[in-house]
């Protein structure tokens, strides 16, 4: 079933794509174009609801549960002591969390219904900005206010930081004591829900009402996890429920602590402590997990002054060193069973936000000895320039900033993402320093945008396993963020692309499997779409096999383009 002239494109990577290439000439953001307030999302409201959405077409009853989404919301604070405070970078927008409750029909023959609610998560932070007139603490990329004196900046650094966790949503986290919830996620079995960002702070919210319940940090899990930086995209073993992450403590010798949070006991183990010359503190947004290994890649996004530049600049982006091709990506392979770091290797300089999946393969070498190869899939960028593309000036094309960003230094050649798979063979013996310095991982698969794109997800049942399909957002050159959804077949390199009418920008696709499914792609894909022309949003439901529309749940208001989310299935 296809609604509102939705189109599906069947293409392979060998097809000519002249009409869909990213170029500075056709890049614009129709979703946000000509909004009444140029500041972007200043007018986005809370809808504590739940509000009934209008369902067109059909959404399968077996998809019942809650779709949680979070991301940046309001991007300006009005009526502060210094006037209007504008957020510089999309990733610093004030956290706004959303929930779509998918409710099965009460009787046979009825229709699935959808309700929506949302909650702002950074009101305390906003209140402080209203009083001070500027943002305090460390941000991702907020540009400094030239009118704020150096003494005020220094004093604001020492002021208590405020939580603005706007990147990812996680549920049923072990090892964290939470406050009482109103309903404890009664429909989905969500004992707790936490919001994360690239710091070591967890923000606790009520699974039903989304009410902020307070925050804690990783030192609650283990006293050695005291570094301020961590990974928003923790990894979960789907079989055991164990959680894996790392904690980064910058310094002359940066210290990375890779840890496991045990689901069965609620205790936390430090699997490896890595602090040695040549291992730089860096901005790392995700990492990799297989059945036997945690793989940490330190990309070419190093912080200056061994990380001391972060408090000086008061944001992560300006604290990063200029991209340098000599700063290779350094990979650390940590054994999940207590052996620490078992291998190191390097790959050419580059950057990535999002890992997709990792898994192990087994083969016999020339001596007929069984060897273990690890495959690591992620969305690769040639440089760190993509980070600068998410400043609001570029997204909203203020003063031709979009053209300047994409044209300058031929950036459009390095801003195009691509799916990359790297394969590395685990050594039979402990590496010597020379072996570690010369070891590398082969690039065995590469698929470029728009046939693969950002915010990638898979069928979660295939985590740590060989798999075939990736769902992501892609950009055919019609938006500064994303204009389509793409299903990539890693076996055939075919791509199915869904795109709505002009000005419809999709968010991260979430796969929900059909109960009892045996095919990897037997299920649906859910994505929140912003219709920039109508200034409204809708929850889109696609058949995952064909990427054709089955139904949608429409809101009569805009919902902020978020970053990440999860589907929590309904329980009896």
378 with 355: CB under 8 angstroms? yes
Sequence length of the chain is 572
421 with 445: CB under 8 angstroms? yes
- Say whether 321 sits in a helix, a strand or coil: coil
Q: Please name the residues in contact with 369: beta carbons below 8 A apart, sequence gap of 6 or more.
A: 428
- Say whether 412 sits in a helix, a strand or coil: helix
567 assigned binding-site residue: no
Q: How far apart are the first and last CA of the chain?
A: 30
Nearest in space to 569 (alpha carbons), one of 279, 190, 312, 183:
190
522 with 514: CB under 8 angstroms? yes
Q: Where are the alpha helices (DSSP H) in 140-291?
A: 150-157
Two structure tokens written together for 532 = 């920039």
Nearest in space to 378 (alpha carbons), one of 400, 357, 399:
357
125 DSSP β-pair partners = none
89 assigned binding-site residue: no
Report d(CA 439, CA 15) in Å as an integer: 35
CA distances from 1 to 34, 55, 192 (A): 32, 14, 37
54 assigned binding-site residue: no
Q: Please name the residues in contact with 427: beta carbons below 8 A apart, sequence gap of 6 or more.
A: 342, 343, 435, 439
Helix (H) or strand (E) holding 318: helix 316-319
Report d(CA 411, CA 480) in Å as an integer: 14
Residue 408 φ/ψ, nearest 5 degrees: -55, 135
405 assigned binding-site residue: no
E strand segments, 75-177: 76-80, 83-86, 95-103, 113-120, 168-171
356 with 511: CB under 8 angstroms? no
Two structure tokens written together for 305 = 């002054």
**Which segments are annotated as binding site?**
233, 285, 354, 564
**Which segments are annotated as binding site for Fe cation?**
233, 285, 354, 564
């Amino acid at each position: 079933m296809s609604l509102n002239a939705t189109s599906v494109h069947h293409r392979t990577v060998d097809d000519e794509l002249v009409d869909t290439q990213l170029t500075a000439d056709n890049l614009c953001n129709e979703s946000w174009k000509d909004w009444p307030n140029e500041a972007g999302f200043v007018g986005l409201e809370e809808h504590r609801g739940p509000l009934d959405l209008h369902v067109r077409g059909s959404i399968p009853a077996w998809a019942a549960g809650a779709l949680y989404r979070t991301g940046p919301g309001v991007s300006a604070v009005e009526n502060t002591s210094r006037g209007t405070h504008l957020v510089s970078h999309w990733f610093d927008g004030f956290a706004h969390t959303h929930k779509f409750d998918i409710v099965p029909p009460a009787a046979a023959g009825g229709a699935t219904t959808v309700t929506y609610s949302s909650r702002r998560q950074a009101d305390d932070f906003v209140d402080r900005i209203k009083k001070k007139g500027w943002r305090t603490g460390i941000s991702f990329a907020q540009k400094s206010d030239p009118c704020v004196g150096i003494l005020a900046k220094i004093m604001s650094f020492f002021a208590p930081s405020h939580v603005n966790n706007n990147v990812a949503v996680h549920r049923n986290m072990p090892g964290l004591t939470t406050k009482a919830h109103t309903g404890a996620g009664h429909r989905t079995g969500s004992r707790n829900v936490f919001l994360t960002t690239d710091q070591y702070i967890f923000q606790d919210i009520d699974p039903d009402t989304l009410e902020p319940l307070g925050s804690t940090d990783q030192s609650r899990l283990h006293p050695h996890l005291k570094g301020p930086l961590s990974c928003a995209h923790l990894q979960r073993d789907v079989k055991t429920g164990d959680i894996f992450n790392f904690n980064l403590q910058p310094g002359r010798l940066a210290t990375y602590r890779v840890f496991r949070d045990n689901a069965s006991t609620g205790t936390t183990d430090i699997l490896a402590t890595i602090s040695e010359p040549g291992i730089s503190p860096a901005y790392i947004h995700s990492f990799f997990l297989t059945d036997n290994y945690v793989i940490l890649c330190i990309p070419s996004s190093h912080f200056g002054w061994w990380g001391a530049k972060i408090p000086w600049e008061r944001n992560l982006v300006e604290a990063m060193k200029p991209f340098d091709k000599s700063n290779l990506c350094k990979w650390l392979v940590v054994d999940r069973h207590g052996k620490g770091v078992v291998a190191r290797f390097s790959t050419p300089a580059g950057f990535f936000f999002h890992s997709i999946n990792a898994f192990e393969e087994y083969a016999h070498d020339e001596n007929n000895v069984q060897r273990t190869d690890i495959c690591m899939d992620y969305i690769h960028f040639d440089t760190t320039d993509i980070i600068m593309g998410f400043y609001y000036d570029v997204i909203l094309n203020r003063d031709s900033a979009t053209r300047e960003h994409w044209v300058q230094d031929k950036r459009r050649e390095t801003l195009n993402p691509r799916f990359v798979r790297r394969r590395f063979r685990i050594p039979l013996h402990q590496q010597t320093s020379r072996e570690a310095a010369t070891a590398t991982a082969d690039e065995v698969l590469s698929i470029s945008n728009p046939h693969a794109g950002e915010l990638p997800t898979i069928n979660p049942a295939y985590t740590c396993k060989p798999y075939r399909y990736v769902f992501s957002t892609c950009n055919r050159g019609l938006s500064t963020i994303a204009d389509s959804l793409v299903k990539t077949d890693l076996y055939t390199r075919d791509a199915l692309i869904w795109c709505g009418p002009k000005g419809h920008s999709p968010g991260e696709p979430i796969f929900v499997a059909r109960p009892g499914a045996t095919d990897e792609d037997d299920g649906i894909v859910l994505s929140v779409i912003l219709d920039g022309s109508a200034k409204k949003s809708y929850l889109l439901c696609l058949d995952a096999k064909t990427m054709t529309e089955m139904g949608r749940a429409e809101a009569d208001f805009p919902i902020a383009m978020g970053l990440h989310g999860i589907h929590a299935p309904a329980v009896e």
